[in-house]
């Protein structure tokens, strides 16, 4: 079994929230997470976009950067970026083998009493890659929640919470206050905590946690700046990216104030030249049709997608979608039916995936009157959606849009400029 096969085999252990395993593993690796500075970003939605903007701004200021995000779109190396580029496969495989060897050793001597999860080991791999690359700073995205997420072993210079909405309720709680409490677990004594625009219930809970631990709280939409920014066009599309950009600016300005200078021009570069694929990304297909790819995997993400289509006069439009069985299908479809001329329900090879037929039945109940077709093949679903239509949308699970995007690009699709 190759190192990557062994790593993916750990997915059978599912999600285990807690810090004991990752702390043991990082200690056995001689603490790679202490070799570089970090910015730690949590949030229901927007944390990947903010991470992309912040990393690009830091890099524009001349810093040697790492970025750790999850999940990946198509290749696991995408999770670990060095200076904006995914780490090469050879390095990733080599470090994976070495980290897994350490896992074996710690299990053998009993330091680890249970096998660590896929995400725990992946996090250790990323942190070790960053150390070997001698980066200056890593922008690290929380995987799930915050308080017990494997990334929460960091001692960052800045933390941030981009947004609070419903997602992963089984793990994080079924109220916005409970979800906010879990995400606020990344707050550290004396470390600035930047927050985006949050529901009042969530904002109050985060403020309470920040005050208790002694983390200075900075509202990205209430702070003032003496910097003057020129008119600019964000690299990432959608009205919601204005909210994300405000958080990114607050993070970069705070870094400039407490760590090292980030010129205004570098911040502008972060906002206007970052890259974050499969987020309101248009592809031009060889057939001539256009396909909007978006990883809208919860109701808030679906609402942002629908608003974008409405703002740009693109609705109604055929929508290809696959939604995992543990996701809020009613909440997502309720948002998407605002902009759907039809739904093409599809599926993906994943244990949590709904079948195309089951998803189609659910959509018919939630959105009566809108045509629904079940097509198990995502590629065939795109053909169905774009037959007779100049444009369509593929949205939902990242397990749909990531591999689909890669296949479309390999088959001759091109990004629409």
Dump pLDDT digits (tens) for 358-368: 999 999 999 99
What was the pLDDT predicted at 173? 66
What was the pLDDT predicted at 17? 75
Please check whether residues 302 and 204 belong to one and the same domain: no
Residue 191 DSSP symbol: -
Q: Give the model confidence (pLDDT) of 71-114 as tens digits.
A: 999 999 999 999 999 999 999 999 999 999 999 999 999 999 99
Residue with tokens 């990393």: 55
As a whole number, mean pLDDT of residues 129-139 equals 98
> How many domains would you assign to the chain?
2
Please check whether residues 258 and 310 belong to one and the same domain: no
Please check whether residues 258 and 286 belong to one and the same domain: no
Q: Is 1 exposed, middle or buried (0-12, 13-18, 19+ CB in 10 A)?
A: exposed
CATH number (domain holding residue 118):
3.40.1190.10
Neighbours of 407 (CB within 10 A): 14
As a whole number, mean pLDDT of residues 124-153 equals 97
Q: Give the model confidence (pLDDT) of 293-307 as tens digits.
A: 999 989 999 999 999
- Smallest CA-to-CA distance from 165 within 285, 337, 42, 263 is with 42
What tokens were used for 177?
A: 């206050």
Residue 219's H or E segment, with its range, is strand 217-219
Q: Give the model confidence (pLDDT) of 41-79 as tens digits.
A: 999 999 999 999 999 999 999 999 999 999 999 999 999
What was the pLDDT predicted at 223? 81
Please check whether residues 180 and 113 belong to one and the same domain: yes
Please check whether residues 288 and 228 belong to one and the same domain: no
Please check whether residues 396 and 294 belong to one and the same domain: yes
Please check whether residues 181 and 84 belong to one and the same domain: yes
- The Cα–Cα gap between 136 and 61 comes to 12
For CA atoms 142, 147, 149, 155, the dihedral sign is positive
What was the pLDDT predicted at 212? 98
Residue 163 has pLDDT above 70, yes or no: yes
What tokens were used for 382?
A: 């795109």
Q: Give the model confidence (pLDDT) of 259-283 as tens digits.
A: 999 999 999 999 999 999 999 999 9
Query: pLDDT averaged over the chain?
Result: 95
Neighbours of 255 (CB within 10 A): 24
pLDDT bucket at 211, cuts 50 / 70 / 90 = very high
Please check whether residues 220 and 321 belong to one and the same domain: no
Q: Give the model confidence (pLDDT) of 325-382 as tens digits.
A: 988 999 999 999 999 999 999 999 988 899 999 999 999 999 999 999 999 999 999 9
Domain end position, chosen among 217, 250, 272:
272
What was the pLDDT predicted at 166? 76
Phi, psi of 41 (to 5 degrees): -125, 125
What was the pLDDT predicted at 178? 94
pLDDT bucket at 168, cuts 50 / 70 / 90 = low
| Cα angle 204, 208, 210; round to 5 | 115
Please check whether residues 52 and 181 belong to one and the same domain: yes
Domain end position, chosen among 226, 250, 272:
272
Domain span including residue 340: 281-415
3-state secondary structure of 318: strand
**Buried-exposed string 195-221: b where 16+ CB fall within 10 A, e elsewhere:** bbbbeeebbebbbebbeeeebebbbbe
Domain end position, chosen among 207, 238, 272:
272
Evaluate whether 44 touches 161 at the Cβ level (below 8 Å): no
- The Cα–Cα gap between 327 and 298 comes to 7
Please check whether residues 137 and 253 belong to one and the same domain: yes
- The Cα–Cα gap between 395 and 303 comes to 12
- Cβ-Cβ contacts under 8 Å for 113 (sequence gap 6 or more): none
Q: How many CA atoms lie within 13 A of 327 on its CB side?
A: 24
- The Cα–Cα gap between 331 and 156 comes to 35
Residues paired with residue 86 on neighbouring β-strands, in sequence order: 81
- The Cα–Cα gap between 172 and 178 comes to 7
Report the DSSP pairing between strands 137-141 and 65-68: parallel
Residue 25 has pLDDT above 60, yes or no: yes
Q: How many CA atoms lie within 13 A of 194 on its CB side?
A: 29
What was the pLDDT predicted at 226? 86
- Smallest CA-to-CA distance from 316 within 369, 239, 276 is with 369
Cα-based distances in Å from 242 to 182, 184, 219, 304: 25, 22, 15, 12
What's the pTM value of the predicted model, to 2 decimals? Answer: 0.95
Residue 169 has pLDDT above 60, yes or no: no
Please check whether residues 60 and 161 belong to one and the same domain: yes
CATH number (domain holding residue 398):
3.90.190.20
What was the pLDDT predicted at 15? 73
Please check whether residues 312 and 259 belong to one and the same domain: no
């Amino acid at each position: 079994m190759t190192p990557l096969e062994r790593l993916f085999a750990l997915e059978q252990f599912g999600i285990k929230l807690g810090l004991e395993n990752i702390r043991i593993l990082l200690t056995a690796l001689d603490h790679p997470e202490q070799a570089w500075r970090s910015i730690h970003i949590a949030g229901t939605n927007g944390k990947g976009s903010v991470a992309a903007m912040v990393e690009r701004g830091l890099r524009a200021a001349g810093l040697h950067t790492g970025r750790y995000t999850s999940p990946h779109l198509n290749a696991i190396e995408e999770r670990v970026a060095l200076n904006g580029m995914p780490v090469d496969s050879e390095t990733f495989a080599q470090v994976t083998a070495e980290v897994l060897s350490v896992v074996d050793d710690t299990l053998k001597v009993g330091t680890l009493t249970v096998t660590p999860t896929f995400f725990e080991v992946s996090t250790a791999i990323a942190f070790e890659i960053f150390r070997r690359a001698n980066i200056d700073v890593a922008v690290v995205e929380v995987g799930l929640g915050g308080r017990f997420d494997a990334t929460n072993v960091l001692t960052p210079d800045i933390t941030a919470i981009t947004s609070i909405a419903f997602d992963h309720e089984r793990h994080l709680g079924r109220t916005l206050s409970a979800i906010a409490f879990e995400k606020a677990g990344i707050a550290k004594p004396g470390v600035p905590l930047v927050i985006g625009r949050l529901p009042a219930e969530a904002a109050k809970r985060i403020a309470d946690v920040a005050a208790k631990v002694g983390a200075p709280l900075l509202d990205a939409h209430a702070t003032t700046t003496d910097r003057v920014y020129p008119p600019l066009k964000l690299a990432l599309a959608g009205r919601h990216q204005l909210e994300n950009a405000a958080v990114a600016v607050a993070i970069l300005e705070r870094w400039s104030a407490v760590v090292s200078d980030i010129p205004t021009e570098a911040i502008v570069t972060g906002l206007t030249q970052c890259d974050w694929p499969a987020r309101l990304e248009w592809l031009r297909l060889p057939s001539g049709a256009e396909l909007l790819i978006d990883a809208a995997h919860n109701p808030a993400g679906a609402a942002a997608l629908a608003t974008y289509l409405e703002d740009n006069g693109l609705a109604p439009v055929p929508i290809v979608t696959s939604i995992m069985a543990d996701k809020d299908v009613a909440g997502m479809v309720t948002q998407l039916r605002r902009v759907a001329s039809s739904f093409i329900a599809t599926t993906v090879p994943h244990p949590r995936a709904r079948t195309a037929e089951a998803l189609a039945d659910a959509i018919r109940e939630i959105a009566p009157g809108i045509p629904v077709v079940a097509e198990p093949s995502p590629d065939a679903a795109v053909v169905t959606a774009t037959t007779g239509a100049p444009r369509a949308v593929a949205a939902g699970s990242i397990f749909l849009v990531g591999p689909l995007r890669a296949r479309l690009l390999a088959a001759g699709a091109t990004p629409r400029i």
